[in-house]
């Protein structure tokens, strides 16, 4: 079997590498090596990892079209589920570390602070995508409708980048990095669909 | 398989070699991808704790002052204080500053004190370190919502100002941090205008709690904490306590301050710790004490209301935030 056909191998690789950052974080936490402010670090790390996996899901289509790496398509839902996994961890860290489990104060926080609102909205939009990530769901919804629903990823990623940008005090290097990546990946899609419309 | 049958048998890879090669390839991909993932994580993970390289300050006159902490408040460890720093000239990553500031040259050093004073002059480090010092354990509250308890060594700013005799027109004091792109290569991407400048009203500057710190834990300041000399104003958010001071100027108007210039809506000139006035993007009612789980209540003027509240009598602290 060639590398590109070995989807079981791809799956194992992505499962392990996706899990690895959280495993390392857990080990560091166990050994008390998460720095002076562990809550801040875990919050930031899980947030950034969510963005990383969101961007990776958006990378699949361009890589298929430009490089012919069609084998990636089979792994896209798994990559997306990792984005969801880290966003759940991110939300839990916020609830435990920032809100001290005072769930009722979250609503007030959402209303008062735009960056929390944007983050929360992006998270809520991820829930239906995670729920519909099974084969059975694709069948039930039909491929076309399923694909339409999962285009919400565009909005979620933009929301995630804005959420990141809004919390930074002055050094916007990292949010800008994700903003440029997202713009390129969404720009590519826009350009392709415009080109398609023209040729029709 | 009709095509492949034309290949001479000598060129067909034996099955065993083929499987070995695949096994080797797979292992290499496994190893390579895990090392890359772990390496990426490590690159952004907090750095290991730092040790003190400072020398003992011998000019401490008073024995350690009884700190005015509540019974449940503990002094933070050296590793926490010296391993978690906001010093944007070196890095905007707090756990990285210690490493990036490792080779910062803080000796020789001179602090120029001038402006509206009778006898302007420049103090060199030796003279500053010889000033009669005190040990002061203060709460330190960052505007970002975390806090520490820090055992500073230093002398009241009032003592330094007395040496240059402020003129009667002087109403404010302006401070400036050392700035040098050669020693601070990342300063260009800090996102704030540098050199870093800060300011106090003259009565705030003359207040006995206001300290020029030259050390912590009995030793000279680590570079990342603002060596060799910095301001400490315990009732204000941490960014008012400007680091690595090279210039102090007495003026007759409110001086510009870095974070206020960067974002006037979020950072005021006074920036007194105040749990009732929120930062536009987060609440200031509670704080995360470094080393503790959970959060604790933030006190008015960081717990120094008894000593400093009178400075702001009659002022609306919502407009003068």
Residue B1 has pLDDT above 60, yes or no: no
Q: Is A135 on the interface with B (CB under 8 A)?
A: no
Chain B residues in contact with A20 (beta carbon < 8 A): 34, 37-38, 41
- Give the domain extent around B114: 78-312
Please tell me whether residues B176 and B92 are part of one structural domain: yes
The total number of structural domains that make up chain B: 2
Please tell me whether residues B136 and B281 are part of one structural domain: yes
Domain assignment present for residue B138? The answer is: yes
Say whether the ipTM exceeds 0.90. no
Please tell me whether residues B37 and B171 are part of one structural domain: no
Residue A129 has pLDDT above 80, yes or no: yes
Please tell me whether residues B282 and B216 are part of one structural domain: yes
Domain assignment present for residue B65? The answer is: no
Nearest to A100 among B263, B291, B294 (CB): B294
Distances, alpha carbon A119 to alpha carbons A56, A163, A164, B87, B199, in Å:
19, 5, 8, 28, 36
Rg (CA), chain B: 27
Burial of residue A168 (CB within 10 Å: 0-12, 13-18, 19+) is middle
Q: Which helix or strand (DSSP H or E) is residue B213 part of?
A: strand B211-216
Best to test chain A binding among B288, B289, B296 (most A CBs inside 10 Å): B288
Whether B239 contacts B246, CB under 8 Å: no
Residue B3 has pLDDT above 60, yes or no: no
- How far apart CA B216 and CA B151 sit, in angstroms, is 6
* Mean pLDDT to the nearest integer, B199-227: 96
Please tell me whether residues B143 and B233 are part of one structural domain: yes
Chain-centroid distance, C-alpha B197: 14
Domain assignment present for residue B56? The answer is: no
Residue B5 has pLDDT above 70, yes or no: no
Please tell me whether residues B40 and B138 are part of one structural domain: no
Q: Is B140 helix (H, G, I), strand (E, B) or coil?
A: strand
Domain assignment present for residue B22? The answer is: yes
CB pairs under 8 A between A and B: 90
- How far apart CA B22 and CA B179 sit, in angstroms, is 56
Burial of residue A132 (CB within 10 Å: 0-12, 13-18, 19+) is middle
Helices (H) and strands (E) in chain A, counts: 9, 0
Best to test chain B binding among A37, A48, A71, A82 (most B CBs inside 10 Å): A37
- How far apart CA B198 and CA B268 sit, in angstroms, is 11
Domain CATH for B103: 3.90.420.10
pLDDT band at A64 (very low <50, low <70, confident <90, very high): very high
Best to test chain B binding among A35, A94, A177 (most B CBs inside 10 Å): A35
ω into residue A79 within 30 of 0, thus cis? no
pTM: 0.87
Specify the pLDDT at position B63.
56
Q: Is A35 on the interface with B (CB under 8 A)?
A: yes
Can you read off the two tokens belonging to residue B192? 């704030």
pLDDT per position as a tens digit, A101-119:
878 888 888 888 889 999 9
Nearest to A100 among B38, B45, B295 (CB): B295
Domain assignment present for residue B271? The answer is: yes
Residue B65 has pLDDT above 80, yes or no: no
Chain A residues in contact with B45 (beta carbon < 8 A): 24, 28, 33-35, 41, 45
Please tell me whether residues B33 and B136 are part of one structural domain: no
Whether B219 contacts B56, CB under 8 Å: yes
Q: Is A99 on the interface with B (CB under 8 A)?
A: no
Q: The sheet that has B245-251: what strands, in order across it?
A: B121-124, B110-115, B245-251, B172-177, B197-201
Please tell me whether residues B142 and B94 are part of one structural domain: yes
Please tell me whether residues B139 and B21 are part of one structural domain: no
Instruction: Tell me which residue has tokens 């240059």.
Output: B164
């Amino acid at each position: 079997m060639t590398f590109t056909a070995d989807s079981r191998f791809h799956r194992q690789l992505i499962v392990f590498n996706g899990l690895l950052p959280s495993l390392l974080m857990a080990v560091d936490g166990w050994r008390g090596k998460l720095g002076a402010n562990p809550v801040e670090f875990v919050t930031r790390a899980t947030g950034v990892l969510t963005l990383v996996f969101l961007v990776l899901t958006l990378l699949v289509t361009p890589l298929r079209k430009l490089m012919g790496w069609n084998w990636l398509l089979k792994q896209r839902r798994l990559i997306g589920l990792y984005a969801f996994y880290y966003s759940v961890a991110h939300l839990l860290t916020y609830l435990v570390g920032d809100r001290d489990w005072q769930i009722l104060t979250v609503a007030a926080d959402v209303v008062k602070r735009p960056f929390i609102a944007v983050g929360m909205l992006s998270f809520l939009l991820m829930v239906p995508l995670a729920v519909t990530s099974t084969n059975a769901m694709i069948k039930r919804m039909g491929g076309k409708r399923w694909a339409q629903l999962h285009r919400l990823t565009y909005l979620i990623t933009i929301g995630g980048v804005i959420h990141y940008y809004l919390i930074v005090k002055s050094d916007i290097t990292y949010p800008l990095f994700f903003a440029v990546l997202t713009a390129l990946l969404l720009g590519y899609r826009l350009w392709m669909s415009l080109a398609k419309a023209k040729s029709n | 398989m009709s095509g492949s049958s034309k290949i001479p048998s000598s060129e067909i890879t034996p099955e065993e070699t083929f499987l070995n090669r695949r096994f080797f390839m797979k292992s290499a991909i496994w190893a390579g991808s895990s090392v890359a993932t772990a390496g990426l994580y490590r690159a952004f993970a907090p750095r290991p704790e730092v040790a003190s390289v400072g020398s003992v300050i011998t000019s401490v006159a008073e024995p350690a002052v009884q700190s005015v902490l509540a019974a449940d408040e503990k002094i933070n460890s050296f590793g926490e204080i010296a391993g978690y720093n906001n010093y944007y000239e070196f890095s905007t990553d707090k756990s990285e500053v210690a490493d990036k500031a490792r080779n910062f040259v803080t000796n020789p050093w001179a602090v120029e004190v001038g402006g509206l004073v009778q006898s302007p002059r420049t103090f060199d480090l030796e003279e500053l370190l010889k000033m009669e010092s005190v040990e002061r354990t203060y709460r330190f509250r960052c505007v970002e919502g975390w806090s520490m308890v820090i055992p500073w060594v230093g002398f009241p700013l009032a003592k330094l100002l007395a040496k240059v005799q402020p003129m009667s027109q002087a109403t404010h004091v302006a401070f400036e941090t050392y700035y040098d792109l050669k020693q601070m290569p990342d300063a260009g991407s800090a996102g704030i205008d540098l050199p870093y400048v800060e300011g106090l009203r003259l009565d705030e500057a003359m207040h006995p709690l206001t300290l020029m710190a030259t050390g912590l834990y009995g030793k000279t300041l680590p570079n990342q904490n603002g060596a060799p000399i910095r301001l400490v104003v315990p009732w204000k958010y941490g960014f008012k306590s400007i680091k690595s001071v090279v210039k102090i100027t007495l003026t007759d108007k409110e001086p510009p301050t870095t974070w206020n210039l960067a974002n006037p809506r979020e950072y005021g000139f006074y920036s007194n710790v105040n749990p009732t006035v929120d930062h536009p993007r987060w609440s200031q009612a509670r704080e995360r004490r470094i080393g503790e789980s959970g959060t604790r209540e933030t006190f008015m003027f960081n717990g120094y209301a008894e000593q400093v509240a009178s400075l702001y009598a009659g002022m609306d602290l919502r407009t003068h935030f």
